[in-house]
Amino acid sequence: MSQSRKRLSTGAMVAIAIALGAIIGAAGIYGKAMSSGNASGPESLASAQCTADPSLLAALKPLAHGEVAAMSVRESASVLPDLSFTSADGTSMQLADFAGQTLLVNLWATWCVPCREEMPALSHLQSELGDDGFKVLAINIDTGDDSKPKAFLGEIGVDNLGLYRDSSMGVFNTLKKQGLAFGLPVTLMVGKDGCLLGAMNGPAEWASDDAKALVTALKAG
């Protein structure tokens, strides 16, 4: 076998191994719907009422391009279920606890390779644009205790996102029922009034100029 074929075979084996790891981790997401304190049921977001300014959506739409082209800005803002999770000290929290702040809500897990890769960029975004009016709210959905996510954030030196968690995966399952989550990572743009303004499945380069322009417009809404 030639050296090029050997390299190709090795690369293919690595890709397969990564894919299998993701499948094993995702089994908890796609294979079971665990109970939690989160809202449930097939409620349609389209039927919910929201008072978000339509001009904000109009401003966001042209900015969802380039590195953040996968962000789907909604035609009209929608009310989200009040997702439940815990803070680093185990305190129960909901999205309503961040009322008055615009949020970039990101669901992630340590077994999700794209999630791991985008965490430093999300940290950078929080450092540059985070303030009393805007927050990157990264919610970890690893099952079990917090040892793995805590160790991972320590290894990559991310200390400004906190460790918000939902080990029941109820946050993901709720968003899945709403047609907003299909895999990880999942990212939502949420207005100051708790309205859903946009959703993205898959990773993005959150430290890019494209992402910063989008979030700057989000903050201004």
Q: How confident is the model at residue 82 (pLDDT cuts 50, 70, 90)?
A: confident
The set of residues, in sequence order, having a beta carbon less than 8 Å from that of 72 and lying 6+ positions away, is: 64, 198, 199, 200
3 state SS of 201? strand
**Interatomic CA distance for residues 145 and 130, integer angstroms:** 28
Lowest mean pLDDT among 24-33, 139-148, 209-218: 24-33
Please give the C-alpha separations between residue 205 and each of 70, 99, 164, 199, in angstroms, as whole numbers: 11, 26, 21, 15
Mean pLDDT value across the chain: 83
Digit-coded pLDDT (tens) for 132-167:
999 999 999 999 999 999 999 999 999 999 999 999
Both tokens assigned to 100: 């008055």
Q: How confident is the model at residue 53 (pLDDT cuts 50, 70, 90)?
A: confident
Whether the pLDDT of residue 39 is over 70: the answer is: no
Per-residue pLDDT, 81: 86
Residue 169's closest CA among 108, 221, 82? 108
Sign of the Cα pseudo-torsion (106, 84, 158, 195, in order): positive
Both tokens assigned to 108: 């992630």
**Interatomic CA distance for residues 107 and 88, integer angstroms:** 15
Sign of the Cα pseudo-torsion (67, 69, 72, 73, in order): positive
Burial (0-12, 13-18, 19+ Cβ within 10 Å), 9: exposed
Q: How confident is the model at residue 34 (pLDDT cuts 50, 70, 90)?
A: very low
Please give the C-alpha separations between residue 75 and each of 10, 56, 59, 166, 178, in angstroms, as whole numbers: 45, 11, 12, 29, 16
Q: Decide which of 170 and 46 is more confident.
A: 170
**Interatomic CA distance for residues 211 and 67, integer angstroms:** 7
Q: Could you give the percent of the chain with pLDDT greater than 70? A: 77
3 state SS of 121? helix
Pairing of strands 72-79, 84-86: unpaired
User: Model's pTM, two decimal places?
Assistant: 0.80
**Interatomic CA distance for residues 2 and 81, integer angstroms:** 56
